[in-house]
């Protein structure tokens, strides 16, 4: 009798991705935060303090952080996500991209799309996800200068 390999939630998503518009919720962001934290970041990320979801014209998402100058141990983070994505896989890839920035912030790495960002390419690739520096209006990859 052979053992059947257990399939992760991320693998299930990638196998069943439909090419239809996906509308997210704060609950989706929290759920997928936990999946990605486990699958990509070995559960090292603390929960993000606040998720802001609304229609955004100029970006798919961004990550904001606050450090109190009077108390440098105080750190607060906000995940700002668009309401609608071209499909669910794209939503997950955008969320994962923002979680790299969360990782940079939490572990005091240089923020941005430099070497501390690029080191995640292989991890994402092994899980069947794309990590790109920037996305165009239709979800197409764009390079950042």
Beta strands, E only, 32-140? 50-54, 61-67, 75-82, 84-85, 134-135
pLDDT at 144: 32
Each residue's pLDDT, cut to its tens digit, for the chain (145 residues) gives 555 566 787 887 777 767 788 999 989 899 999 999 999 999 999 998 888 888 877 788 988 888 777 887 777 888 999 999 999 999 999 999 999 999 999 998 999 999 999 999 999 999 999 998 876 555 555 443 2
Q: State pTM to two decimals.
A: 0.82
Q: Where are the domains of the chain?
A: 21-140
Spelled out in words, what is the top-level CATH class assigned to the domain 21-140? alpha beta
């Amino acid at each position: 009798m052979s053992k059947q390999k257990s399939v992760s939630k991320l693998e299930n998503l990638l196998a069943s991705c439909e090419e239809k518009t996906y509308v997210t919720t704060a609950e989706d962001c929290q759920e997928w935060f936990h999946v990605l934290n486990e699958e990509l970041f070995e559960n090292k990320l603390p929960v993000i303090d606040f998720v802001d979801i609304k229609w955004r014209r100029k970006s798919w998402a961004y990550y904001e952080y606050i450090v109190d100058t009077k108390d440098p141990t105080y750190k607060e983070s906000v995940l700002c996500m668009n309401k609608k994505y071209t499909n669910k896989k794209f939503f997950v890839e955008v969320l994962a991209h923002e979680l790299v920035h969360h990782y940079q912030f939490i572990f005091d790495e240089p923020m941005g799309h430099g070497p501390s960002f690029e080191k995640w390419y292989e991890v994402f690739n092994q899980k069947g996800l794309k990590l790109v520096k920037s996305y165009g209006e239709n979800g197409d990859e764009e390079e950042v200068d």
